[in-house]
Amino acid sequence: MHYFIYSTADSWITSGSLYAGISSSNSQQNFGQDEVLEVKKEFIDGSLQYFSRAVVNFKGTDFTSLSASVADGTITNPVYKLRLYETEGVSDLSTEYSLLASPISESWDEGIGKFGDNPATLEGMSWEYRNQYVQNGTSQSWSTPGCTVYLDHSSAVTASGTFTVTDYTVASTDTVVLTNVAGTEITLTEGTNFTAETSNNVTATNLSNIIGAQTGLSASVAAAVVTLFQEATGSAGNTSIGGTQNFGTAVDFTSGRDATAISASTQTFSYESPDVNMNISDMVNGWFDTRLSQNYGLLLQFSGSQENNNTTTGQLKFFSRNTNTIYPPKLEVLWDDHVAATGDSTGSLSSIDVSGTTKNFVYVKGLRNRYKETEKVKFRIGARPSYVPKTVSTTYNDVTSSFIPEGSGSYSIIDSSTGEVLVPFDTYSKLSCDVSGSYFNQWLNTFQPNRVYKILIKVLYDDNQEIIYDDNFEFKIVR
């Protein structure tokens, strides 16, 4: 099955121009209500001036329901893909380039701005701020300008801090207060727990020895610098170094890091449409299994050195969720839900002849004109020979439907007005079978309401013919 979740927040951010003549590239400007998302590089006289990135988030009730369906086994072995669609204005694009999608590690506010606002709107996210509220003055900067992302760390790192002895002669009764990962405060007092004597280096050694004897801590010394380690790995080990420290300076426990092992996703383009169709399964699974602590969405940018070099070029524009078209950003979920047409699943039915010598009539049975967008529909597929040979019989000859053999049948769904393929013929659109015949299931809340869609059925024949049955099998989705 193919199932879609649409973005709940998106925007784009720009690093700001190095050239004073370009005022539209303000690194504090918000574009949260734009109808397009821009991933671009701007050059002047062949030199890169600034670049832009897009941010997209998928969350809310649909995402929560998806997570629950994966957890309870309704959806098995899914593949997740980021889908973005180009809009007018794509230009200066290198024939070959790559895009990178990374999970965002901090919350952000989509904002209320547009590119053409004059004066520029600053409320919301930008290159510098993840939440900027000019009116009430409560703004939060990104930890890393340009959007903070989770890095791919395959293992946790132990938190560490340092204490540098700068003047052992003023250490009398000074204290060093440490907090271990259990939350226990440990107070070390000069003259009671350690001694300051002879030199800064000796004092550091004395301090290191006593710290190493404490529960939950270890230490090493190099000259006058004591390095402290929490015994537990990960960010939980980021506690504190405090106390009265006239004789030295402390650098707190700040480098503890949990393992994420989340791979960023890439898509490489070579002489092809810039529409994004990127596998982000590891990222989505990380949101579900809590390897990523929060779902803050993803950041899309040119990959690696392509973003800031002078050789890769491109001004990419994609439809945002504010578009009035059928092309907003979406998360496509694919899984094989088909029931094989083998064994007991076919009951007493017989299969149609797919040798290539018989002409078959394939159709959608009982298709309604309208369906509610909340429905999960089992579409029945009829199949029989187009022509039944004449025979002489004293009984009524009933023409019954047959099933399409396993591996021979698949379906596609397209938008009738635009021809846009929403569900292609592929591994995830194979026909199923039960004792009543061939069928496929489709969750209709994946489609845009108040539009007409068409079902196509493809049958693969033994002589390698592929026949698509298109007899205006159309239906409309309504709210």
Q: Residues 319-341: pLDDT tens digits?
A: 999 999 999 999 999 999 999 99
pTM, full prediction: 0.78
Does position 391 have pLDDT exceeding 80, yes or no?
Answer: no
Average of per-residue pLDDT across 149-154: 71
Q: Using an 8 Å Cβ cutoff, are 408 and 386 in contact?
A: no
pLDDT digits (tens, 9 = 90+) for 172-227: 889 988 887 777 888 999 999 999 999 999 999 999 999 999 988 889 999 999 99
d(CA 464, CA 336): 23
Q: Could you state, in order of their start, the residue ranges of all structural domains in the chain?
A: 2-151+260-334, 158-251, 343-478
Q: Using an 8 Å Cβ cutoff, are 52 and 144 in contact?
A: no
Within 13 Å, how many C-alpha atoms sit on residue 291's CB side?
19
Vertex 360 angle, CA 356 and 364, to 5°: 135
Does position 14 have pLDDT exceeding 70, yes or no?
Answer: yes
d(CA 408, CA 377): 22
pLDDT attached to residue 114? 95
Q: How far apart, in Å, are the Cα atoms of 362 and each of 281, 329, 379? A: 36, 34, 13
343-478 matches 158-251 in CATH topology:
yes
pLDDT attached to residue 22? 44
First-to-last CA distance in the chain? 22
Q: Using an 8 Å Cβ cutoff, are 82 and 338 in contact?
A: no
- Assess if CATH 2.60.40.4390 describes domain 158-251: yes
Average of per-residue pLDDT across 49-70: 94
Pairing mode, strands 96-103 and 330-334: unpaired
Among 45, 48, 23, CA closest to 307? 48
Among 97, 153, 428, CA closest to 266? 97
d(CA 262, CA 220): 32
The domain defined by 343-478 folds into: Immunoglobulin-like (2.60.40)
d(CA 52, CA 264): 18
pLDDT attached to residue 137? 72
Q: In what order do the strands lie in the sheet with 175-179?
A: 185-189, 175-179, 240-242
pLDDT attached to residue 156? 72
d(CA 22, CA 441): 52
Give 311-314 contacts, CB < 8 A, sequence gap 24+. 311/94, 312/41, 312/94, 312/97, 313/41, 313/43, 313/92, 313/93, 313/94, 314/39, 314/40, 314/41, 314/90, 314/92, 314/93, 314/94, 314/97
Where does residue 4 rank: exposed (0-12), middle (13-18), buried (19+ CB within 10 A)?
A: buried
d(CA 200, CA 467): 86
Among 469, 346, 441, 447, CA closest to 403? 346
Alpha helices, DSSP H only, in 257-391? Answer: 281-288
Please state, rounded to an integer, the average pLDDT across all residues of the chain: 89
Confidence of residue 429 (pLDDT cuts 50, 70, 90): very high
pLDDT digits (tens, 9 = 90+) for 257-296: 666 666 689 999 999 999 999 999 999 998 998 777 789 9
Does position 467 have pLDDT exceeding 90, yes or no?
Answer: yes
pLDDT digits (tens, 9 = 90+) for 433-451: 999 999 999 999 989 999 9
